[in-house]
Chain A
Amino acid sequence: MVASVTIVGSDGTDVTQHRLEVAQLSKTFGSARVLRRVQLSVAPGELHGLVGQNGCGKSTLVKILTGVYTPDPGGSIAVDGRRLRMPVQPAEQREVGVSVVHQHLGLVDDRTVWENVRLGRYQARGPFRRIDRRAEQEAVAEVLARLGRRIDTNELAGTLSAEDRATIAIARAMQDHRPGGGLIIFDESTRALGRQARGRFFELVRSLIANGASVLLISHRLEEIVEATDRVTVLRDGEVVEAGLDTRDVDEAALTRLMLGRHLVTHGRVDSHARDDLAASVRSLSVGQVTGLDLDIRHGEIVGLTGLMGSGFEEVAEAVGGARRADAGELTVGGHRILLSGRRASTEEFVRARVGYVPERRLDEGLAAEMSVAENLTLPRVRSRGHRFRTGRAWQAEETAAMIAKLDIKPPDPSAPAGTLSGGNQQKVVLAKWLAGQPELLMLREPAQAVDVGARHDIIDAIRAAARAGCGVLIASIDAADLAVLCDRVLVFRGGMVTEELAGDLGQDDIIHATFGIGPALREAAPEDQVSQQKRGVG
């Protein structure tokens, strides 16, 4: 099963001509060894995947490759047979053609395309050391031409579509590569892209590879890895457990098992816990382009809200969760009537009515990174459960311990600053913060986004358990897989209206097709199918 990989001796002497050859790379922080003798080889013209759970050492590896961290002595990194000095120097990295596209693409929204692409490379000319705008723009146009894309170099990056933004990030990464060479590392870069944009993104990546460049793709989306990459390397707890596995021989379940080191019971649908009585109802909600929406959520029911970006479902979620002021509307939860158009300084009213809101951006809206897990987890209830002059320790310790156990939060340390946890564990803390208050209504936005499979498993279990206990759950997500597994019914938004309501035995494809507005007759040609066929074809 393991693809042929040349294991390089500890002296780092190169045997074969790999584009990237990492050998015996280790990294220790204090007493924790986060990478152990990692080996990784990427061939010229290869799309190589790198997967692993949160905290397995993927980002540490990228940071060593880009010179942020110095590895422990003994390891080596070679590009096209040239062994790099440690720590990796930016100049040498650029010279050998290794570049990274980060998670959020690293674009400055209020700057133009050419300024973004040329950032860090501006050439000053003339006696006044001015930036030669025309020359810079030409350089950018040339790179974009190599990518086969036309984008106005004077546009502001923030006004572009998701796929154009990805194109710019790629253009920036590959502008110094000599034709037919270079390695681009995509560090969770596809996260910021919608489904359609992701398809085009992979077309672009394929064309890069066809020209001889190599790509290392780091992604949480295993289906993406299986479909798009040629080989995959799996990291677990800082060690390579599979090096260069051919993706034709592997499926998502097998990758998941490798990442976890145990057999994960894959989530199937379970019977609905919905009861007959209402947990919450929304009346005449108008927010953004949505007008006059009525919505009933029964106790124990899990209702999905989905649609394309900008279809209005996100605004509905924000209004129901109290994060955004609606133009009109009312929410009734457990005898509390909340005016959704009310001007309010905080979500206090929602908290009192036991409405929990898990926001999309966990580090901006969900958690205070510098505060501890326990403090974050108990924040909504310090006033109601504590005494005015004393927060009280017992209930906090009890609540925190229960939630750490329930969601398997790691490390199981209530005093750890929330910012030091891995992404998946942070997401668990945000969810636990509301679950601990036994909510009547949970409004979740992308509850399992960018978390590893283990965390997703725990999160799905916890949401189901909350529903079983009678909580009404609303999930706003673009992730059809999450919705299909969790929801009793799904409302699909388009242009501010609910265009379809799916119920019963939901399939991921049904949700996707409803989202894209594709009728049953056209399903064979659905965008994601086209994309996957193309990827398969080239791979």
Chain B
Amino acid sequence: MNAAQDHVDAAPPPGGPAGGSADGTAGSAPAARSGPGLRHFASRYAVLGVWALLIVVYTIAKPGVFMTRSSFESIFNGQYALVFMTMALLCTIIVGEFVDLSVPSVFGFAATILPVLVVNHHWGVWPAAVVAVLGALACGVVNGLLVVVARVNTIVVTLGIGTLLTGIALWMSNLNTIVLPPSGFAKIAILPVGGLYISFFYGAAVALAFAYVLGFTPLGRHMRFVGASREVSRLSGVRVNRIRFGSFVAASAFSGVGAVVTVAAIGSYNATTSDSYLLPVFASVFLGTAVIQPGRFNPIGTWIGIYFLTTGITGLEQLGLQTWVSNVFYGGVLVVAVTIATLLRRRTT
């Protein structure tokens, strides 16, 4: 930072040779921007470039297999759960809560409530969906109370609540996959629109709306500032705790709605799968900091990150690699991409 501090003001040389005569102003002009401009562009769109490269490599490596409609559909149709969960994680990360580990568990909790109520307790699917979302919201309220009001460490609270919720979900479902009876309910998720499921567009809409809120509304500005410095925000009249609490509740709402869409799409849920979302959710959110706004958590970057990662894994699996490859890929890409973005950002600021 000091490097930057120093060179910001030090643009032009003094007017004449050393000697200290009155030589006009000691002002500075903005430094030439051509070099940094290019780097800035590179740091914003490097991941998109790598994504394109991946597609080209896979297409050449597996002609007729990768570049097909079915690959395309499997990449873009299957990620609704991840989109909702990453947006949930972003809510709290943006306001400076590192890190909400309960996101997949809240999602799994809601996704278990719905089929359990319908199948075991013979509820209608819609009331059950409402209760599932309310259940998720309640989890957010508890997280918020513990972290914001009682000031318990975020990681401790969310790890504990997350584990607790997964346990309850396993108990409710009796460790079984609970399958919904066929109904029109599935339509809310898998209605085809322009060749893709409608759930893809839900995800896109949610990411766009979130990006709008962050970029263009007073609420979003306040969220960013709370994340950057609570004290600065408080002393500028921002109700810091309300925003932090609200973020936990909003996060749980994203998880709850995502759970309903997911159950509608696949028609069932198995609570044991919740934990498997943790790494992809974190990988996508962190990868998002390497896209569009380098060094910043941002919804569009995250959304792109999800499909980038899925493309990579789909291609690798088609090349015959086993499921272990997803761990290697998620972990490896995450570290490499974020490192590159960080380095580029450091050189441009």
- Enumerate chain A interface residues (CB-CB to B < 8 A): 29-34, 36, 53-57, 59-60, 63, 69, 234, 236-243, 257-258, 260-263, 321-323, 345-352, 357, 359, 364-371, 375, 379-380, 382-383, 386, 388-391, 408, 410-413, 416-417, 419-423, 425, 433, 454
- For A412, the chain B residues whose CB sits under 8 A away are 30
Rounded to whole angstroms, the CA-CA distance of A412 and B19 in the bound complex is 28
Interface positions, chain B 14-32, Cβ under 8 Å from A, are 14-15, 18-28, 30-32
Interface positions, chain B 43-68, Cβ under 8 Å from A, are none
- For B32, the chain A residues whose CB sits under 8 A away are 31
Name the CB-closest residue of B to A62: B2
- For B349, the chain A residues whose CB sits under 8 A away are 417, 420
**How close is B182's CB to chain A, nearest CB, in angstroms?**
40
**How close is B291's CB to chain A, nearest CB, in angstroms?**
18
Contact of B10 among A32, A69, A321, A359 (CB under 8 A): A32
Rounded to whole angstroms, the CA-CA distance of A234 and B20 in the bound complex is 9
**How close is B115's CB to chain A, nearest CB, in angstroms?**
37
Contact between A370 and B228, CB atoms less than 8 A apart: yes
Rounded to whole angstroms, the CA-CA distance of A352 and B240 in the bound complex is 16
Contact between A238 and B10, CB atoms less than 8 A apart: yes
Rounded to whole angstroms, the CA-CA distance of A349 and B218 in the bound complex is 17
Contact between A419 and B4, CB atoms less than 8 A apart: yes
Contact of A371 among B12, B13, B224 (CB under 8 A): B224
4 A-B pairs closest in CB distance: A55-B9, A351-B237, A368-B228, A258-B20
Name the CB-closest residue of A to B21: A261
Contact between A413 and B237, CB atoms less than 8 A apart: no
- For B3, the chain A residues whose CB sits under 8 A away are 29, 60, 63, 69
Given contacts A379-B238, A380-B237, contact A391 B216 (CB under 8 A): yes
**How close is B1's CB to chain A, nearest CB, in angstroms?**
6
The reply to whether the CB of B233 lies closer than 8 angstroms to some CB of chain A is yes
Contact between A55 and B5, CB atoms less than 8 A apart: yes
Rounded to whole angstroms, the CA-CA distance of A357 and B225 in the bound complex is 17
Contact between A380 and B236, CB atoms less than 8 A apart: yes
Contact of A30 among B27, B36, B217 (CB under 8 A): B36
**How close is A423's CB to chain B, nearest CB, in angstroms?**
7
Name the CB-closest residue of B to A1: B20
Rounded to whole angstroms, the CA-CA distance of A366 and B224 in the bound complex is 15
- For B239, the chain A residues whose CB sits under 8 A away are 345-346, 348
Contact between A421 and B8, CB atoms less than 8 A apart: yes
Contact between A382 and B222, CB atoms less than 8 A apart: yes
Q: A371-B225, A420-B4 are in contact. List 14 more A-B contacts (CB 8 A).
A: A30-B36, A53-B26, A55-B5, A63-B3, A237-B12, A261-B24, A345-B241, A345-B242, A346-B240, A349-B237, A383-B218, A421-B5, A421-B8, A422-B5
Contact between A240 and B18, CB atoms less than 8 A apart: yes
The reply to whether the CB of B35 lies closer than 8 angstroms to some CB of chain A is yes
- For A53, the chain B residues whose CB sits under 8 A away are 9, 26
Contact between A388 and B218, CB atoms less than 8 A apart: yes
Contact between A365 and B216, CB atoms less than 8 A apart: no
Contact between A237 and B2, CB atoms less than 8 A apart: no
Name the CB-closest residue of B to A28: B7
- For A57, the chain B residues whose CB sits under 8 A away are 6, 10
**How close is A326's CB to chain B, nearest CB, in angstroms?**
16
The reply to whether the CB of B73 lies closer than 8 angstroms to some CB of chain A is no
Contact between B221 and A379, CB atoms less than 8 A apart: yes
Contact between A420 and B5, CB atoms less than 8 A apart: yes
- For A359, the chain B residues whose CB sits under 8 A away are 235
| 0/1 string, B272-297, CB within 8 A of A gives 1 | 00000000000000000000000000
Contact of A345 among B216, B231, B234 (CB under 8 A): B234
Which of B27, B236, B347 is packed against the most chain A CB atoms within 10 Å? Answer: B236
**How close is B281's CB to chain A, nearest CB, in angstroms?**
24
